[in-house]
Structure 1
């Protein structure tokens, strides 16, 4: 037996994956009293059994090939017409035909299976060594309905295969991409650390005003680049399965964390106004560095995308055992469509500033909030845009 082409093997597997086919063959045999039924894949050069019900011990199994010219399915494919025989010996057209004699059948029916695009796939056949009345309208209609159902099921199975293959390809590509991002992030840290140290050493020398200003620009740029690298590494760690690690500390003063973040951002945006409203006695059980990163990402987003002449506010309140931290900025409203996408990686609002960034800040803020058992949301209208983070407070509340 010749080796089947790979595509035909895949087609056989497709039909085998359609669980309704054996049931259809069983119904066909019971309804006609025929003891052999098969779904075949038929091309211009091959006939292959895809699913078989054999009560005659004919010996044909799924995946087995017959010589195409020894089957009536060849004619069905060429003419797109049914072949139906009640009794070979009494049929003027087929009584002396070599095919019934070769396989020893007296009754036979074969109808085409077409796919959704109209292309010919194969046949639904049944046969028996005894004469059977199959050339009746109800029997032919049953076969044609079942053939149509099989065609639809094969179409769906093919579409599912394509979808699964595309998904696997995308997952593999995504894993490689994220591994590359992680390696790149780590490799960038070393030269950036050297650059930062060099900037600090230069800052210890006596410099004129222009040099001090240039050095300040270099310092802000290195801080910004360090933030981008941290964002990339956080994203890669989350996507590669290691997740966002937390180093919990008890009774972390919220005011100290926020003040430090505001001071850092104020050096990078010296002309902007950042206001904070929070209880100086509020304390949290949290990862202090991650909490600072969350506040920095939200405030940085407001400074970047909000009205450049507007005030950015951070307001913290406590209620029902939760800390509610809001970052509010004026500026163009974020569309409802954009709001639903903002916390996904590499997404930036289509409204507002066109400043460069990776689109990871809000995604990482979302991850930090969730890692602490909290949540984050956004509301935006013509008046202002506010990002709200809710985090659990220690019990009893110390805020």
Structure 2
């Protein structure tokens, strides 16, 4: 049996309507064997069978096509109907009814939608049946047309699924390449930034020091882009954002440091902090501060340039809540649904820095902790991003119990 025949059997096997079609044929005609067959110039192969007769064929069973009437149907493309073979003028001496011991028989050709011959839908029984002139033939011919459409649809679905699997495999290779490339870039970038930082401290000439500072700034920015790409690749490849979970008594200090760094970069903006008592939270300090950095950077980029950016961190109602609020135009409804997707950013005519990974990575950090990101945005209240981390929930990080 060829691979093409195997594929055709599998295709017919996936079409849910086929068993129902064979059942209707048997119940309507009274015949006890019905099948969908793939017919070539040398073989008759059963693709689907309903056999209460004990004829002995199952899906995948083969017959020499020359021993069947389907050989003639393949040549003439015409339906064959026999009520009682032993008394039929054309088939009473034919070898097929004698070989397979049937009296009643009907077989209709099945053509693919492009006109190519596929095979037949047939039924037979050792007992005679009144088939000629009844509604059986047009019914089965309708089933043959329906089957052709179903075959085309199923094969199309299989091609789409194969293309999707291929695309997923290619995407995984691309993301692995990105991860390896990003990993290999870290060392030279570290050398560049370390060297530039040393030069800014030692150079006496202002012009030279300015150049070294520019190299340092660009190196740090490139390092951040590489870090974002690596985090993106980890998230997409299924490993997720790696965490180093531990008690973080200095988390508040880390959050203030992040806000201070961004304030220095944007001295014309105002970042307002409200950080409560969050000592002892069990989390990855570096990742939570990275999450905050991404949220503040997003607020500074897209918020009202004249308005403040408010940062709040607190333990409340059994959750650690870290939020960043800014004023300005609300986020469009159609954008909200894609906000935490990679490379997502609001449409703008103005060139924007970065890869559009900041909110995606923030969301991945939240998910890795067992928490979630939320966003509220409207015209009156501006935009509020919140990282919510349940305390004491199964599988979620929590503040460790107080010592006694």
**Structure 1 length as normaliser, TM-score?**
0.83
Which residue of structure 1 lines up, in the alignment, with residue 351 of structure 2? 354
Q: Does 1:171 find its partner at 2:157?
A: no
Q: Is the 8 A contact 2:35 2:49 kept in 1?
A: yes
Q: Does 1:277 find its partner at 2:273?
A: yes
CA distance in 1, matches of 2:301, 2:350: 7
Q: Is the 8 A contact 1:332 1:351 kept in 2?
A: no
Residue of 371, 387, 390 corresponding to 2:388? 390
Residue of 242, 260, 263 corresponding to 1:263? 260
CA distance in 1, matches of 2:314, 2:303: 23
Once the two structures are TM-superposed, the CA of residue 191 in structure 1 deviates from its matched residue by 0.6
Which residue of structure 1 lines up, in the alignment, with residue 243 of structure 2? 246
CA 391–13 in structure 1, closer or farther in 2 if over 3 Å, else same: closer
Q: Does 1:203 find its partner at 2:195?
A: no
Deviation per residue, 1:19-60 (Å, 9 max, x gap): 664565455445534344321124678643312345676665
Gaps of 5+ in 1: none
Deviation per residue, 1:308-330 (Å, 9 max, x gap): 55543323355323333322334
Please identify, of 352-361 and 44-53, the stretch whose mean Cα deviation from structure 2 is larger. Answer: 44-53
Which residue of structure 1 lines up, in the alignment, with residue 365 of structure 2? 368
The aligned length equals 393
CA distance in 2, matches of 1:77, 1:296: 72
**In angstroms, what is the RMSD of aligned CA positions?**
3.4
Please identify, of 154-163 and 61-70, the stretch whose mean Cα deviation from structure 2 is larger. Answer: 61-70
Which residue of structure 1 lines up, in the alignment, with residue 128 of structure 2? 131
Q: Secondary structure at the match of 1:192?
A: helix
Residue of 222, 225, 230 corresponding to 1:225? 222
CA distance in 2, matches of 1:146, 1:8: 21
Following superposition of structure 1 onto structure 2, how do residues 52-201 of structure 1 map, counting pairs within 5 Å?
52-53=49-50, 61-66=58-63, 71-73=68-70, 76=73, 81-95=78-92, 100=97, 105-113=102-110, 121-140=118-137, 142-144=139-141, 146-147=143-144, 150-151=147-148, 153-201=150-198
CA distance in 2, matches of 1:360, 1:249: 26
CA distance in 2, matches of 1:154, 1:79: 22
CA distance in 2, matches of 1:182, 1:305: 29
Gaps of 5+ in 2: 392-398
**Structure 2 length as normaliser, TM-score?**
0.82
Q: Is the 8 A contact 1:52 1:60 kept in 2?
A: yes
CA distance in 2, matches of 1:316, 1:165: 48
CA distance in 2, matches of 1:55, 1:392: 61
Q: Secondary structure at the match of 1:124?
A: strand
CA 355–58 in structure 1, closer or farther in 2 if over 3 Å, else same: same
CA 379–114 in structure 1, closer or farther in 2 if over 3 Å, else same: farther
CA distance in 1, matches of 2:266, 2:19: 75
Q: Does 1:321 find its partner at 2:340?
A: no
Q: Is the 8 A contact 2:375 2:385 kept in 1?
A: yes
Q: Is the 8 A contact 1:28 1:143 kept in 2?
A: yes
CA 246–167 in structure 1, closer or farther in 2 if over 3 Å, else same: same
CA 310–64 in structure 1, closer or farther in 2 if over 3 Å, else same: same
CA distance in 2, matches of 1:194, 1:180: 22
CA distance in 2, matches of 1:373, 1:140: 63
CA distance in 2, matches of 1:346, 1:239: 12
Once the two structures are TM-superposed, the CA of residue 210 in structure 1 deviates from its matched residue by 2.5
CA 9–307 in structure 1, closer or farther in 2 if over 3 Å, else same: same
CA distance in 1, matches of 2:246, 2:58: 67
Q: Is the 8 A contact 1:252 1:286 kept in 2?
A: no
Once the two structures are TM-superposed, the CA of residue 8 in structure 1 deviates from its matched residue by 2.7
Once the two structures are TM-superposed, the CA of residue 194 in structure 1 deviates from its matched residue by 1.0
Q: Is the 8 A contact 2:34 2:51 kept in 1?
A: yes
